[in-house]
Amino acid sequence: MKKKIVVTGATGLIGKSLVKKLIERNDSVVVLSKKTLQVKQLFANSVEIIEWDYGFDDRLVKALAGVDAVIHLAGANIASKRWNESYKKTIIDSRTVPTRNLIKAMQQSNNIPSVFVCASAVGFYGNTGEKSIAENSPAGNDFLSQVCAVWEEESSKVEQLGIRRVSVRTGIVLSTQDGALKKLLLPFKLFAGGPLGNGKQWFPWIHIDDEVDIFLHAIDNNNLTGAVNAVSPGHLRMKEFASILGGILKRPSLFCVPSFVLKIVLGEAAESILYSQKIKPEKLLNTRFKFKFSSPTEALSDLIKNKK
């Protein structure tokens, strides 16, 4: 059944693929964005575009009236800059302020959506070492844990309106177009690839196609509520991931990038790359979500072959 869906963050890695999938399944898509020209270039006339600077006004109230779902992905890129106090504030504000204003607009609408799907991340849990983690596990105590916790707290306020809320705690999204995998491909192609850190850390990955399908599942499945771990059920360690990638590219996986080098280059942000997180997508499995890629070999082969 065709739905009307509002999307923020449509120019990001997940947003671009998600909007294309919504268009393919014949949903009516409204994109709220600062980057209206880029949205136009990406989707032409397939979506309705409303300029939005994360603020609150009557246009936002009107945009959300009568829609079936809101998918909120917008937020500053945590990996684009070194974390100083100013950028940390930007990271938090770019998530909490627009979320607050979206909910405020829904409060003033006479015809509210049935579901609000808001991005989050497995950074919520912090560095959990060898522990098995599910959605009921507690938050960590570092900066990224704080970001995810306050974002989810803000998004949960939509439940007071009787709107179903899903916070998608995304792992490391694999795509050759952007993100971690794209950054790792070059050193491997130059015969200098290998694991990050000591390679022993658990690596919570997800194929971009499964990531998009999880957001669709969150829209369509009324039994899915609260926090949801968007990671593959196929657990592996960083060293194994690097070895599989090297094998597919026919390159060695010999050159570890030491933790201290990452910390020199990235500062505090290196922590998130070196986390060990053995995370189970318990709620997705309980609601019968079908992963296309639970094998890292099949996932990486598909991504590299098809340049996804």
Q: Which helix (H) or strand (E) holds 6?
A: strand 4-8
Residue 152 belongs to domain spanning = 4-173+207-231+279-291
What pLDDT score was predicted for residue 267? 63
pLDDT band of 82, cuts 50, 70, 90: confident
* Coil/strand/helix, residue 7: strand
What is the spatial distance between Cα 92 and Cα 75, in angstroms, rounded to a whole number?
8
For residue range 184-234, list pLDDT tens digits in order: 888 888 877 778 888 899 999 999 999 999 999 999 999 999 999 999 998
State the pLDDT at residue 268: 64
134 in any annotated domain: yes
> Buried b vs exposed e over 56-86: b needs ≥16 C-beta within 10 Å?
beeebbebbeebbbbbbbbbeebeeeebeee
264, pLDDT greater than 60: no
CB of 221 within 8 A of CB of 290? Answer: no
Residues 6+ apart with CB under 8 A from 41: none
28 within some domain = yes
Residue 196 has a pLDDT of 84
What does the H/E/C string look like for 258-298? CHHHHHHHHHHHHHHHHCCCEECCHHHHHCCCCCCCCCHHH
Amino acid 187: pLDDT: 82
pLDDT at 21 > cutoff 90: yes
Provide mean pLDDT across the span 240-262. 81
Q: What is the pLDDT of residue 282?
A: 96
Looking at residue 79, what is its pLDDT?
Answer: 77
Whether 302 is in a domain gets the answer no
Instruction: Give me the mean pLDDT over the 60-80 stretch.
Output: 92
In a domain, 186, yes or no: no
3-class DSSP state of 94:
helix
Residue 82 belongs to some domain of the structure = yes
Evaluate if residue 304 carries a pLDDT over 70. Answer: yes
Residue 255: count other Cβ atoms within 10 Å of its Cβ.
Answer: 14
Number of domains in the chain: 1
CATH of the domain at 59: 3.40.50.720
Q: What would the mean pLDDT of 30-48 be, rounded to a whole number?
A: 95
Residue 209 one-letter amino acid = D
Residue 168 lies in a domain: yes
Please give the torsion angle defined by the CA atoms of residues 223, 229, 233 and 234, in that order, rounded to the nearest 10 degrees.
160
Evaluate if residue 269 carries a pLDDT over 80: no
- Report yes or no on 19 lying in a domain: yes
The alpha carbon of 56 is separated from its chain's Cα centroid by a whole number of angstroms, namely: 24
Look at residue 159 in the predicted model and tell me its pLDDT. 97
% helix, strand, coil for the chain, step of 5: 45, 15, 35
In a domain, 159, yes or no: yes
162: DSSP letter: T
Closest CA to 306 of 7, 15, 23, 17: 17
Beta bridge partners of 198: none
